[in-house]
Amino acid sequence: MKRERIIRAGICLELLFILLFVGAFFRESSLTRQEQAAASRNVEGEKEFIKWVDFTVTPDALARSLEYDVNTYKDPVHLSWIELLAYAAARNGGDFSDERKTENYLETAAEALLAGQSMEELTAEMKHYAYYLEAYTAVLGGLVGEYRIETEEGWETCYGLKSFHPIAKGFPYNDYNDFGASRSYGYRRPHLGHDMMGQVGTPIIAVESGYVEALGWNQYGGWRIGIRSFDKKRYYYYAHLRQGFPYALDLKEGSMVQAGDVIGYMGHTGYSAVEDTNNIDIVHLHFGIQLIFDESQKEGNNEIWIDPYPLVRFLYRNQSEAVRNDATKEWTRKNEMRDPACEESGWG
């Protein structure tokens, strides 16, 4: 009899553990993706940093929030486009597909802030605002600010979008949103970037100021360039550059580049262990954006690559014009720019 009670108690204990496990499983499954991302920062014994970002902000939302930012730059209350977008994301769960709802959220936040309310007050009850603010700052942090641009009248100080589309002005290309599509060369994997199809020799532009962290041959990307932002949060990857003449002549690892500089030329190299090989059928630029919250994420299984397509569409409004040197056959930017981020970095 005593043995039976012990057996029954053991069975009940096992059932209790099973119920607890199943409950935890369904609780995890029911979490929103942003809740999972926020939770992933607080694993005991690990450093706390963001381990997942799904950047779904539309080009229209980017444009509208930037308009608020630029239009209030000299006003007593300067609206931050990143804060406005983080507010909207916290309200809509990171889903920007409903343009009218997104516009209402942006307008609500802007009106409240201009009326004297602080963003801290406005978001006091928003559980995920801090997450979106940090994530979106990592994505957009170096794209807007003060800069000086060369004009026919001289140097002009401006404020606004100081980042550029990755393809030079006037050069045709076509694209579609192919982020996440399957790739099979070497091994099956998702496509963690955006392809822009064009012509061999099309000048490729530095989207943001930073320094060249990688340059050379890779059997998957062919001739490629990796540029790190000065705050080290963004890594821009430009791949499949031109055979024989892939880069700007003075470019090397460690070089500082300014947004809008010509850094290389479109081609179709790659998919080969042999350097300088055209083994890709379609001429195109592979453009990728990696977010790095901790250096352990730079390479390996914890890399965070976001969909660049919305940003590429948004940046089309700001293309860098290039001119050709017939003697060297090299293209360079037409109008020089001075980005304070380059001076502040002390790089080079």
Per-residue pLDDT tens over the stretch 9-18: 554 545 444 4
Q: Residues of the chain with pLDDT > 70: what percent?
A: 84
**CA-CA distances (angstroms) from residue 5 to 8, 18, 280?**
5, 20, 71
Q: How far apart are the first and last CA of the chain?
A: 83
Rounded (5°) CA angle 195-224-315: 45
Task: Give residue 181's pLDDT band: very low, low, confident or very high (50, 70, 90).
Answer: confident
Residues 211-217 have a mean pLDDT of 97
d(CA 312, CA 240): 18
Sign of CA dihedral 60, 165, 196, 206: negative
The DSSP letter of residue 251 is -
For residues 263 and 213, the answer to whether their CB atoms sit within 8 Å is no
Among 334, 312, 314, 309, smallest CA distance to 323 is for 334
Helix (H) or strand (E) holding 289: strand 284-291
Give the pair of three-digit tokens for residue 292: 């790095």
Domain boundaries, the chain: 59-140, 174-333
pTM over 0.85: yes
Token pair 């700001």 in the structure block, residue = 318
- The band of 136, judged by pLDDT with boundaries at 50, 70 and 90, is very high
What CATH number belongs to 174-333?
2.70.70.10
Q: How confident is the model at residue 301 (pLDDT cuts 50, 70, 90)?
A: confident
Order the strands of the 144-151 sheet from edge to edge. 154-161, 144-151, 337-338
Residue type, 177: N
Mean predicted lDDT score pLDDT of the chain: 88
Mean pLDDT calculated for residue range 220-231:
97
Place of tokens 């720019």: 337
Q: Rg of the chain over CA atoms, in angstroms?
A: 24
Tens of pLDDT along 98-118? 999 999 999 999 999 999 999
Count how many residues are written for the chain: 348
Spatial distance between the Cα atoms of 318 and 315, rounded to a whole number of angstroms:
5
